[in-house]
Structure formats: C-alpha cells, structure tokens
C-alpha cells in the first residue's frame, strides 16, 4: 500500500510539472509576441492576433500569426536567441529551403517572396511586398536573414 501511494504521488508530481511547463511556455510565447506587437504598434502598425500554433518547419516553443495592414506575419518564439539563431541557420538564404538533419522542406511562395527577420529570441516571417512593412521591419529588426 505504501509503495502504491509513493508511485501515485510520483505520477501526480510529474503530471503537475508537465502541465506547468506547457502553461508556462504558452505564457512565455504570448508575452514575447505581445512585446513585439507593442513595438510594431509604436511604429504605427496595428496588429490583430489571428491564431496561435506551432509550425511545420521551424522548431519554436510556439508561433503566433497576426494580421497587419491587410496582410499577416508569423512570429516564432524560442527559449533563447541562441535557439532562434540555430533554427534560422537551417533556412537557406532565399527562404525557399529549410534543412534539418535527415530531411529538407522545400517552400514555394505564391504571392511574393518570403522575408525572414530575427530579433533576439524571435523569428518573424512576412510573405508580402508592402514597402511600408518591409521598411519598418528592417528598421526594427535589421536586414532579413533569408528571403528575396
């Protein structure tokens, strides 16, 4: 009986740790994305959250997609800038291929060329050609690390 109780307490403890990690990472992702959208707002660009999810090729803690000037951006949030830079290094300079150990993802862009920026522990993706957005992104985040 005592052994069973110890096992149940251990399982409960592990479950609570796992739940708090998920809730904590979601809060962290929301917080980081909100800080970036606040910077965009200060630059005169209103954003609206469209959805929150993970992505198929980047490996962030989470991603948030926002509408901005009748278009959208996706913000990928990482636990650190080193993790964001490591994931960014897997994208080729054109933004058309993501290379991971053992596989590659080929990307095609229907509307216009992709634009990938890095800002600390964030990767920002924009797939449009709006010059106001492109100029603002370059001012805030520096030159794109991938795209055309």
pLDDT of 58? 74
Query: And the tokens for 46?
Result: 């209103």
Give the model's pLDDT for residue 51: 84
pLDDT tens digits, one per residue of 123-147: 999 999 999 999 999 999 999 999 9
Q: Indicate whether 8 pLDDT > 50.
A: no
Residue 118, pLDDT > 50, answer yes
Cβ proximity of 37 and 45 under 8 Å:
no
The percent helix, strand, coil of the chain (3-state, each to 5) is 40, 30, 30
Name the pairing type of β-strands 122-126 and 71-77.
antiparallel
């Amino acid at each position: 009986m005592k052994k069973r109780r110890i096992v149940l307490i251990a399982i409960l403890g592990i479950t609570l740790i796992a739940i708090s990690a998920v809730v904590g990472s979601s809060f962290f992702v929301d917080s980081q994305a909100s800080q970036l959208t606040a910077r965009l707002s200060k630059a005169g660009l209103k954003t609206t959250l469209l959805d929150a999810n993970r992505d198929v090729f980047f490996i962030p803690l989470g991603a948030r997609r926002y509408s901005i000037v009748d278009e959208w951006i996706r913000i990928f949030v990482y636990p650190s800038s080193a993790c964001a830079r490591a994931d960014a290094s897997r994208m080729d300079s054109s933004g058309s291929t993501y290379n991971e150990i053992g596989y590659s993802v080929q990307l095609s862009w229907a509307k216009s060329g992709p634009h990938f920026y890095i800002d600390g522990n964030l990767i920002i993706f924009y797939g449009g050609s709006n010059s106001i957005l492109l100029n603002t992104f370059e001012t805030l985040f520096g030159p794109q690390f991938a795209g055309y």
